A and B are shown apart, each in its own frame.
Chain A
Amino acid sequence: MLIDRIEAQKNPTKHTLVAIVENKPGVLNRVASLMRRRNFNIESLAVGTTEDPTVSRMTIVIDASKTNAALVERNLYKLINVIDVQDLSEVPSVVRELALIKVRTEDAKHRGEIKQIADMFQSRVVDVSLNSLIIEVTGEENKVDSMLKVLAEYGILEVVRTGRIAMARG
Chain B
Amino acid sequence: MKLTGAQIIWEILLQQGTEVVFGYPGGAILPTYDALVDYQDRIRHVLVRHEENAALAADAYFRATGKVGVCMATSGPGALNLVTGLANAMMDSSAVVAITGQVASHLVGTDAFQETDVTGVTLPITKHNYLVMSVEELPQALTEAFYIARSGRPGPVLVDICKDAQQKMTDYTPISEVKLRGYRAIKPFPQNIPLLLQRAKELIDQARRPIILAGQGIKHANAHEEFRQFVEKSGIPVATTLLGIGVLSEEHPLNLRMMGMHGEAYVNQAIANADLLIALGMRFDDRVTGNLKTYAKNARVIHVDVDPAEINKNVPADVGIIANLRDVLQQLTPMIEKRTYPHWLEQIAEWRKDTLSHDIMQMPLPEDMLIAPQVMRLIWEATGGNCTICTDVGQHQMWETQYFHHTRKNQLITSGGLGTMGFALPAAIGTKFGRPDEEVWAIAGDGGFQMSIPELATVVQEGLNIKIAIINNNFLGMVRQWQELMHNRRYSAVEMWTPDFVKLAEAYGICGLRANNVKSAREAIATARAHNGPVLIEFVVEKEMNVFPMIQPGKSLNEMTRRPIQPAALGGGFDFLDAQK
Contacts and interface: CB of A to CB of B under 8 A. Distances in A.
Interface stretch (B66-74, B239-247, B309-317, B342-350): B309-317
Which of B181, B195, B316: most chain A CB closer than 10 A? B181
Contacts of B119: 26
Contacts of A4: 311-312, 316, 320
A1 B190 contact: yes
B168 interface: no
Given A77-B308, A80-B180, A71 B313 contact: yes
Contacts of B312: 4, 6, 68, 70-71
Highest count of chain B CB atoms <10 Å: which of A22, A71, A77, A81: A77
B463 interface: no
A22 B181 contact: yes
Interface residues of A, number: 26
B184 interface: yes
Contact of A83 (B131, B148, B181): B181
B89 to A, nearest CB: 16
Contacts of A1: 190-192, 195
Question: How many residues of B sit at the interface, in one of the four size bands?
Answer: 20 to 34
Interface string B89-121: 000000000000000000000000000000110
Contacts of B195: 1
Contacts, number: 60
A81 B123 contact: no
B51 interface: no
B322 interface: yes
A83 B180 CA distance: 9
A74 interface: yes
Contacts of A71: 309, 312-313
A136 to B, nearest CB: 35
A80 B151 CA distance: 12
B124 A33 contact: yes
Contact of A81 (B182, B192, B320): B182
Interface string A17-60: 00011100110011001000100000000000000000000000
Given A2-B190, A30-B123, A82-B182, A75 B320 contact: no
A119 interface: no
Contacts of A77: 182, 184, 189, 308-309
B316 A78 contact: no
B128 interface: yes
A37 B192 CA distance: 30
A84 interface: yes
A80 B183 contact: yes
Contacts of B320: 2, 4
Nearest to B195: A1
B182 A80 contact: yes
8 contacts: A1-B190, A2-B191, A22-B181, A26-B131, A33-B123, A77-B184, A77-B189, A80-B128
Interface of B: 119-120, 123-124, 127-128, 131, 148, 180-184, 189-192, 195, 307-309, 311-313, 316, 320, 322
